[in-house]
Structure formats: C-alpha cells, structure tokens
Structure 1
Amino acid sequence: MCGITGFYRSEATDIATAEHIIKSMTDSLFHRGPDDTNILLNTDNDVVLGHRRLSILDTSKGGLQPMQSKSKNLVIVYNGEIYNHNDLRAQIEHEKEGIAWTSTSDTETLLAAFEHWGIEQTLPKLRGMFAIALLDKSNNNFYLIRDRFGEKPLYFGWIEAEKHSTFGFSSELKAFQQYANFSNKISNQALLQYFTYMYVPCPFSIYENIYKLEPGCILKIISNPPKFPPRQLPHPTSMNQFCHEDLTISKWYDFKDVVEKSSKNLFTNINEATEALEKELLDVVQMQSLSDVPLGAFLSGGVDSSTIVALMQKQNSQPIKTFTIGFEDPEFNEAPYAADVANHLQTDHSELFVTGEDAQSLVSDLPRIYDEPFADYSQIPTYFVCKSAKHAVTVSLSGDAGDELFGGYNRYLLAPKLWKKLNKLPKLARKFIGRTLMIIPISLWDNLMSSFLKFFKKDKFLNQFGDKVHKFSSRLTKVNSQDDLFTHMISESGADKVVLSNDHMPTGVSKPLFLTDKLPKNGVNDFASEMMYKDTLNYLTDDILCKVD
C-alpha cells in the first residue's frame, strides 16, 4: 500500500508554511509507504500533494509520485495497483503512435490512459484497487476517485483550523491531524453509528465534516472547493449526483446496475457456471500476482483462502509462501486446518502462534492503527499475520470478500429460516414471548444453561448464552419484516443509551445509507441475496476491507 494526502492552500497560508504542513501530513503515513516520499507545491494553483511509496511495480525512481503526464497537464498521487496496466499500455500503443514510456510503473500507465481516453472514460477499463487524487492543470479541475468496492481508503473534507477551514484529502485520518491547529470535533452521529454497527459506515468518519469517499465514486472540484462543508451527507445515488457549489460526487461504478444487468444473463447449467467461475478466478489470481517484489498469501484453512492459495500454487512451479495465525484456545485455532491445506498443496508454510498476552499488548496500538473506532475483534489476528508475512513478502493475497459474494455467512442460511417461522406468529404473540424471555436476567439464563449441560454431561458451554437469549428476545419484540430482522442481526441496540446525550446529540441513530437506498429491480429476488447485496455495499467496505488494507 501507499499513502496519499493533500490540501488546498488558502490565502492565509504561505508556501513555506504549506510545505511544512504537507511534509508533516505525508510523514504521518510513513507506515503505508516506507520506500520513498515526495511532495509537490505549485505556485500556479493552490493544490498541495504528498505521497509515501511502497514499491510494488517498478521499484526504481521511475515510479516516484507525485507524477506528471507527458503533456504536464495532469498530476497524480495514487495508492493501489492496476493489475491490467500492461494490457492498457498495449491498447494505447495500438491506438496512438509514437508513445514512449519512461518506466514500467502503472502510475505512468494511468496518466497516459487519462490523457488518451479521458478520465471518466478510463475508469471502467481499470482492473485493480485504487484511491486516486488527480489535478488537471489545464483547467484547475481536481478529482478524487475510489475503486469499485473501496479496497483502498480515501477520506476528504474540510479541515477546521482556528478561524478558517481547508479542503483536504488523505488515505488515513491521522494525516488531517497534522494540519496546523486541527480542531474538527468528534461526529456524534458517527459515534452513534459506531456503537450500533461496530464500525463507522460510509460516508461518515469519526470527525465532523470529514467523510469517506464511497466506493465506485468520483469527486470533482471545478477550480476551487467550497469554503464551507455541505449541510447534508455527501452521498450520490444511482440516478443523481451529489452537488455542493463547485463540488460534485457521482458514481462511475454502480454495483446496483451490475446486478440488474447480470440478472438478465444468468447461467442455466451448473457445470458451465463452475467452469466459468474457475476460469475467472484463475485469471484474477494470475493478474493480481503481477509484482516486482516477493508475493505470498494468507491461509486460514477455510474455503475462501484455500481456493486462492490453490489457484496461486497451480500457476507457480515453486512453492508459494503462505501464512497463518494460531491460538492457544482450540475453539479459535484454525492453524491445523491451514497446515492440512498447506501440506496438500505443498506450499512454503509459516505459522505464528499468538497468546492472550500478545493480543492484549496490541490493544493500546489499535486507535493509532485505525484512527477511528473499529470493533471487529479479528483485527488483532489480522495484524499479527500481516506482521508475520512482512518478514518474507511485500504483497499477500487473501480470500476476503468471498463470504459476501458467495453466501458464506451463517445469517444467509439462518435468517430466511428464522423469518419463515417468525412470520407465522402474530405480532402480539412475538412481542409477548420476547418480553417474557427478557424478564429473566442474563446471569440466570447462563446459570440455567450451565445446569442443563451438567445434567446431560455436556462439556461445551455456549458462550454468552444469556446475552444471546436477550438479543433474540429483543428481535421478537421489534422485528416486523425481513429488513427489520437483517438490521437487528448486524447491529447492536441501545447506542443512544451508551453515548452520553448533550444539546448537540442527534435524537436517534439514522440508518446507514445501504439500508435505505433502493434495491436493484432484478437480481435480488430472495432474502439471502438481499443480505449479500447489502453486506457487499457496506460491511465489506467499511469492516472487512478496512481491516486488511
């Protein structure tokens, strides 16, 4: 990964001060790009850019950013990798004679593509993960662009500093904090969202007036950004772009549109579907294995990571490097399964066992790593497996996103069955049963379960049984539809009680946009596919991909 950041220099900020600020902001992202760094200040316009580099393709100085296009009109800083950039180069060479490349960097390919085809015309051609900041000096237009599913993070917003605000952007929130006299307040609505969903969903960030650019979106500023933040959330829809003075945000990629179009061209033969999927996965793994630095893979022993590793090994004559994390508690230890898969595939496998003390020692560092509240406990083993892999490889593939796309979560199976049963009960009966179950304290439910297991001589205790009973009871009293059931399954209740109220506190938790935006007209025809669709739009981006960035 790399780190990008920048801001619009105000009239009150001279060049020397701006240089000091951008260096501080860029240096705060050192961990994202330890190989090199560079900044750009241009007296012709007010945009200041910074970049920290992790070299993946073309490790020479030829790939250093910020980078200018051949015409000198475009300047880019970008984080990510364009997997098909060699194919794009070949296509440009075929359509445009006399082009001379100065590096093998995908950054140079991006700039050439933007100049040859146009910015918005290029984006659908890209296969990769990316967060892009692009300045067009010919008209002073500025762009922020995020990949289809938000693999690479990108924040933007108005940095509050004393009596003025400045528009800025960054890969991480910590860079904003380096701006002189940074004073953005904690967003109360984001805090409520966090305590409800255990992460801060798009487009919120934990700070007021700083937002996440949503996946598949392009932000455009004509000449100069608005001086003040918008009063409404910067959220575009399939039909309408978001507008705030000279700033617009629109979708260049719309997952909803993809689902609708794909639903008209479904496979009717399971064997054909299986063969097509394997071919697609083989092509993707081969493409993403393109690297000028050591490459490996995370292996848990589950279906998703094992599939990726098997396809990688199929395409390599030498054993690929695989990594897994083990735990002392057998209930959470996946290392034996990973070892079985590694032995079967004959990979060069490494295991790192993590103790409870190791996990506790990391907790104090989590706020620094993630910048905003994030409660997915798997962030801890993810950190350790990344740290372990870093000693041997620079890039590692994983099986993340398989659950959302292929129905891997238990709720996709359980929720439809549960709703079918709940829907047979009258609403009043559901509420009566739910309230009755909640009369019994959580501790008593735990004691009852413990006694039950002892009586039947069962060794395994169901963790937090009483808490689970109360959560289920709460659903019984509040769930009146499939949507209600899904919302209760992915959220925690009582966030407004956890967050202390004050005069500026919102009166309630507003639903995340992925729960309120309209579903595709076709392609989401049952409860399970509806949950998978919504998880792909939000949970995948703001939890899973955030964790592995």
Structure 2
Amino acid sequence: MCGFAGAFQPARPIDEAAGTRLARAMAAPILHRGPDDEGVVVVPEAGFLAGFRRLAIVDLSPAGHQPMTSRDGRLTILFNGEIYNREALAAALPDRGAVLRGHSDTEAMLEHIACFGLEATLAELIGMFAIALFDHRERRLTLVRDRLGIKPLYWSRCTGRPGGPALLFASQPKCLHGHPAFEPSIDEAAMAQYLRYGYVPAPASIYRGVHKLRPGHLLTMDAGGAIRERCWWTLDAIRHDAASAPDDDALLDGFAGLLDDAIARRMVADVPLGAFLSGGIDSSLTVARMQHLSDRPIATFTIGFTDRRYDESAAARAVARHLGTDHTHLTLEPTDALSLVPDLAEWFDEPFADSSMLPTLLVSRLARKDVTVSLSGDGGDELFGGYTRYDDVERLWSRTASIPPGIRRLAASVLGTLPDPWLRALDRLPTPRALRLDERRRRLVALLGGRPRLLMRDIVSHWRDPSSLMPGVVEPLPPAWAADGEERPSPGALGDTLQRCDIATYLPDDILTKVDRASMAVGLEARVPLLDHRLVEMVWRARPDQRRRAGTTKWLLGRLLDRDFPRTFFDRPKQGFSLPIDDWLRGALRPWAEELLSRDALDRLPMLDAGRVRRAWDEHRTGRADRRFELFNILMLSAWNQRWGTRVATSPARAV
C-alpha cells in the first residue's frame, strides 16, 4: 500500500525542476503511507506532475518502483493498493509480446492495460486499488477507485489559475495543501453532514470543491480540460434471481471455497503477515481459514479494555487458543487514548468521529511491531446484515403496512397535531439516548411518509438535527440515502435497501476510512478478504434470507463457523469495536475535551451554535445526560480545525 498526489493542467506546460519540487511537496504529507521509497513523474509539455510514496509489500526490488511507465512509453501509472490476481494478468501478456521486468502487481496491471485497455483490465482485477493513469499520447488523466471503496482517492478541479483549469488529486486531502492552486475553505453543507454521521459522505469532503471519488467510479480529464465521471461497477447491477439461486448447502459450499481463495490470495506477501482478531464472528472466521491455509501459527493481535462492558479480549484469546495462533494482546487504558488524541487530526485529515479509531490505531501499532500486512474481518456486518437496525426498521415498517396509503400520507402531513402519547410509541426504537418529542415526530413522519432510508438515517445520527447547530445551513442527502421512491418497499426488500445504503456510505466513508488511516499511520497494510468483490456478488445474488434469517444476523457466516468452532464459542451478544468514551470524557480525556470545547476553540468555528455545544458538554460532564456521540463529533471537528482549519466557504471558491 502506498499513497500519491499530483496535478494536471493541460493548457499550462510546467518546468521540470519546478514540477519535481511541487510533486514532492504534495506527496510529503503522506510519508507514513509509503516509508520505503519515493518517486516523481513530470511531463512538462503536458502540464502533468505527480509524487508517490511506496510501502513495499510484493516485489521489494526496484522493479516495483512508482510512478511506473509502460514498455511502449504511452502510459504512466500511480497505484495504491494490492492486486491479488497478478499471475492471471501476467499470463495473458506473452501472446501480446509483453515481457515483464519484475513480479510486481503494478507492472502486470499496467501492461495489461496497455495491451487490452483500461475497461477490460478493470473487469479482471481482484483487489483494492486507487489509480491515477496518465496517457501521454492522448494527454488524458484517468482516476479510478475500486468497487467497494477500500482505498481512498480525492480530486478537485481548480479554476481561475493562469493557464486554465487544473485537476488536483491525492490519496488524502492534506496533500492538496502543497499545491498553490488549492484554496481551502470549509463546506458548511458537508460539515452539517459530518455532524449527523460522524464522517463526510462521498462524494463530498470537508473542503468546498474537493470530492471523494465514489467507489466503483472513474473520472477523466482530457487535453481540453473537460472532466467526465462515470460508474464502472455498482452493487445495484447485482440482483437476486430466484430461478437460479442455489440452495443453502450449495451456497455454503460455494462461498466456503471462494472465501478460502480470497483469503489465500491475501496471504501472499514478501513481508511478514498476520491478522486482527477481535473474537467476533467476522475476524474469527477469517483467522480460522487463514490458519487452515497456513503451515505455521498465524500471528494475531487483539486490543482489550479494563471496562468489561467493552472487552472482548477473553473471547479473542479463546479463539486464538482453539486455533493455535501466535497471539498478542494489549489492554487499552484511558492514558493510552490520551497519548493518541493529539495526533488524531494528523492521520484523519478530514473530521472523523468514529471513536473506535483509537483502538484501531493501537492494534495497528501493536501489529506493526511484528508484521507489515494484517488481514481483518471488516465488511462482514454490512455484507451479511450484522446490524440489528435492519431488523428494527423492518419490524416497525411492517407494523404500518396495513394502513392504507392515503391515510398514511395524511397522517404524515398533519403529524404536528398528534398528541404526545402517540409520539411516545416510538420509544421502542433502539437509540443510545432518550428520544425527545421532536425526534419521535420525525421518525413517525419517515414511517408514515414512506421514507425508510430517512428513518434509518435518524437512528444512526449523532446530531439528529444539524440545522439546530448550524442555523440556515441546508444539509444535503448522500446519493444512497436520497433514493426513496414512491413505491413503498415490502419488509423483505427493505432490508436489502438498508444494507445497500450502508455499503454505499457507512462502509467506505467510516469503516474502511478508519482502517485505512489507522493502519497507514504506522505503515501497515490492512487487507479485507470479506470484501473480495466475487464474494460480494455471490452473496448479493443469493436469497436475502441466506444473509439474515429469522432474526439471525450473518446466517451464512454462522454456518461456516460451525465447521471450525463449537457453537458455544459465539453464544453471546454482539459487541462493536467501541470503547467507554462516555466515561473517559469525564475522566482521563476531560482536559483534552475542555481545551477543544473552550470559548476560544469554539470561536474558531463561528458557524456553530457554541452555546448549545457548551450546554451539551455541561450535561455530559455532570452526568445529567450521555452526549458522547454529539460531543465526540464536535471534539474531532475542533481538533481538525486547530490542525487544518481555514475560512468557511460563504461564496464560490476557485475549487468548484
């Protein structure tokens, strides 16, 4: 894994020496992503430049150096990620006269593109990737992101510069600060989204005019400066076919074989390799299959907590003993978290408020002492319906199914007149905090008005009404959340709809962002076999009840676990990878919180209602209410603002 950054200004040739300095300046902030090597490419007459940082995993020789140019001299590639079917790509090349110089996946992919074209190669790729591909002959830049959004890629079109528009691109947004065309300004609408979700959903970013390239998308800028973006892979194209769906046993056998293949491919590396082990279903299954495929004990790593409400380390140790892994465990103390918080905004260079980034950073640091690659079980919850919120929303949805549509719409429109006891009926909804009447009203409107996505959005929200913190700001819906149609989905179809929302937003913009930034902070490559696109497509073509069945989440994974573990191993409630941030904010992290929520700190965020923030903090620190989610959002926003803060965008900026 690596990182890159660059710029393309086709109407403005660039001096080679100046371009080299600029490319290095843009790539310098991501040294941690690639400590083993650096590279620069400058094409003066085309106005193209890029810098690269390399973490060497496969083919540690200079033959894997990037940026890399094809044998025919036409294409130059910058590639962050890993391709796991390198041998198949390479095998197709001799018939076209291509001879590889090394055994890197970068070279095999690049020459395959040169021989067969980008579209044909993308269809063949098994892996995770963010790619910048420059065509010297056409003077065209193409940016590509993998199907599920495992690897990050940002871009911005900057106008108003001498010589016409420039396209800036980078693995992380902090690289953009190194280019003189970048004029950072906070996007208030994106900030409102952040306050709700704890992350900024794609395609937005915290900066006005800076975009995340969405998973499964590619973007081109041609010699005339025209930009085009399109989708090259989408889960929406994968549909269940009842006529061809396999029965349970056939699906189980097919999935087991493909999972072993996905894991085996991800165990190939020229450096030491291990796995994260939480003791939950996803990581335990991943490690079990790894150990089955290995002739030596797999190195496994676990973070535990002194607070038993959050600690799964005993379960992880039991799994490790059962499988015979070489297990390393670290108990996380509040002081460990305090030592990390000053650097969080450096690694997470957009505001990010998933507090599990703290244990993820620590387990990555723990693993990096012994290995350079670590497999994880991420993606299992989203792919196999592991979150109870899917069942909760379906259950509520089914209760209103018998109400005639006209009556539902009428009830939604006059909901403001309903008495409070009606609204208190929504107390059954799962939530970490008691619902106020306005929150009950909002959920009833979503239920009766046929907006299931908005109902789930409300359930997962940190600040449920960002406009109350940012008066006058209009919060846009992410594309996946905005797709509620006129037709009211059946409860069975609703579960799929909600999973698709999570796979399109929460998975890439929270879970995978967290793993990428935390692992890359210490130069560790994290691999996610459950998100092999072949597995995703197989599961999505199966019947919905083969993912979630009769209230049992992860039914298919549970059946596979029965092959490696006694059933009693996992007879316990699901625990997320979370931590007692509520207590820590009142204890070890309180001085940090007081500083970031001080009058001076909040004055630097003038778009926020500081009085409301301070009231939430007073309620939390005195124990009158649990405001951990809302407050951690503001804390990470304030920390980010101290490190990267800039002016708020109130008028059009140059980056559009």
Same-fold status (TM-score > 0.5): yes
Do the aligned partners of residues 432 and 317 (structure 1) sit closer, same or farther apart at CA in structure 2, a change above 3 Å counting? Answer: farther
C-alpha distance after superposition, 1:259-296 (max 9, x if no partner): 22x53564342111111111110010011111111111
- For 2:394, the aligned partner's letter is P
Deviation at 1:363, TM superposition (A): 2.2
Partner of 1:486: 456
How far apart, in 2, do the equivalents of 1:53 and 1:409 lie? 36
Partner of 1:221: 221
- For 1:256, the aligned partner's letter is D
Alignment of structure 1 residues 495-510 onto 2, 5 Å = 495-499=466-470, 501=472, 505=473, 508-510=474-476
Do the aligned partners of residues 524 and 26 (structure 1) sit closer, same or farther apart at CA in structure 2, a change above 3 Å counting? Answer: farther
Partner of 1:539: 506
Deviation at 1:29, TM superposition (A): 0.8
Contact 1:437–1:469, Cα closer than 8 Å, also in 2: no
1:197 has 2:197 as partner: yes
Question: Secondary structure in 1 aligned to 2:186?
Answer: coil
Contact 1:142–1:220, Cα closer than 8 Å, also in 2: yes
Question: Secondary structure in 2 aligned to 1:44?
Answer: helix
Do the aligned partners of residues 463 and 332 (structure 1) sit closer, same or farther apart at CA in structure 2, a change above 3 Å counting? Answer: farther
- For 1:178, the aligned partner's letter is G
1:71 has 2:72 as partner: yes
Partner of 1:390: 368
Match of 1:250 among 200, 211, 230: 230
C-alpha distance after superposition, 1:46-100 (max 9, x if no partner): 110110000011011110001110001111111001000111111223x334x32
Deviation at 1:144, TM superposition (A): 0.4
1:340 has 2:306 as partner: no
Contact 1:162–1:183, Cα closer than 8 Å, also in 2: no
Question: Secondary structure in 1 aligned to 2:370?
Answer: coil
Question: Secondary structure in 1 aligned to 2:174?
Answer: helix
TM-score (norm 2): 0.71
Contact 1:434–1:473, Cα closer than 8 Å, also in 2: no
Deviation at 1:306, TM superposition (A): 0.5
Partner of 2:37: 36
Deviation at 1:312, TM superposition (A): 0.4
- For 1:488, the aligned partner's letter is D
C-alpha distance after superposition, 1:354-374 (max 9, x if no partner): 111211332232221111111
C-alpha distance after superposition, 1:361-400 (max 9, x if no partner): 3223222111111111111111111111111111111111
Partner of 1:475: 443
Alignment of structure 1 residues 503-518 onto 2, 5 Å = 505=473, 508-517=474-483
Alignment of structure 1 residues 61-460 onto 2, 5 Å = 61-93=62-94, 95-97=95-97, 99-159=98-158, 166-180=166-180, 182-225=182-225, 246-257=226-237, 259-260=238-239, 262-263=240-241, 266-421=244-399, 435-436=420-421
How far apart, in 2, do the equivalents of 1:121 and 1:186 lie? 39
Q: Which moved more, 1:468-477 or 1:299-308?
A: 468-477
Q: Which moved more, 1:417-426 or 1:478-487?
A: 417-426
How far apart, in 2, do the equivalents of 1:118 and 1:211 lie? 26
Question: Secondary structure in 2 aligned to 1:479?
Answer: helix
Aligned length: 499
Do the aligned partners of residues 475 and 221 (structure 1) sit closer, same or farther apart at CA in structure 2, a change above 3 Å counting? Answer: same
- For 2:480, the aligned partner's letter is F
Do the aligned partners of residues 303 and 14 (structure 1) sit closer, same or farther apart at CA in structure 2, a change above 3 Å counting? Answer: same
Question: Secondary structure in 1 aligned to 2:35?
Answer: coil
Deviation at 1:143, TM superposition (A): 0.6
How far apart, in 2, do the equivalents of 1:167 and 1:270 lie? 49
Q: Which moved more, 1:353-362 or 1:81-90?
A: 353-362
How far apart, in 1, do the equivalents of 2:96 and 2:180 lie? 46
Aligned-pair identity (%) = 36
How far apart, in 2, do the equivalents of 1:468 and 1:105 lie? 57
Do the aligned partners of residues 147 and 538 (structure 1) sit closer, same or farther apart at CA in structure 2, a change above 3 Å counting? Answer: same
How far apart, in 1, do the equivalents of 2:305 and 2:419 lie? 37
Q: CA RMSD in A?
A: 2.9
How far apart, in 2, do the equivalents of 1:331 and 1:21 lie? 50
How far apart, in 2, do the equivalents of 1:421 and 1:523 lie? 11
Contact 1:190–1:206, Cα closer than 8 Å, also in 2: yes
Deviation at 1:300, TM superposition (A): 0.6
How far apart, in 2, do the equivalents of 1:126 and 1:463 lie? 40
How far apart, in 1, do the equivalents of 2:70 and 2:160 lie? 33
Contact 1:437–1:470, Cα closer than 8 Å, also in 2: no
Deviation at 1:420, TM superposition (A): 2.5
Contact 1:160–1:183, Cα closer than 8 Å, also in 2: no
Deviation at 1:510, TM superposition (A): 1.7
C-alpha distance after superposition, 1:439-486 (max 9, x if no partner): 9xxxxx9xxxxxxxxxxxxxxxx9955358985565235532333322
How far apart, in 1, do the equivalents of 2:146 and 2:67 lie? 19
- For 1:61, the aligned partner's letter is P
- For 2:142, the aligned partner's letter is Y
How far apart, in 2, do the equivalents of 1:30 and 1:394 lie? 16
Question: Secondary structure in 2 aligned to 1:203?
Answer: coil
Deviation at 1:498, TM superposition (A): 1.3
Partner of 1:47: 48
Larger RCO: 1 or 2 (CA < 8 Å, sep 6+): 2
- For 1:139, the aligned partner's letter is E
How far apart, in 1, do the equivalents of 2:490 and 2:381 lie? 18
How far apart, in 2, do the equivalents of 1:320 and 1:159 lie? 48
Gaps of 5+ in 2: 517-656
TM-score (norm 1): 0.84
Partner of 2:6: 6
Partner of 1:16: 17
Do the aligned partners of residues 253 and 316 (structure 1) sit closer, same or farther apart at CA in structure 2, a change above 3 Å counting? Answer: same
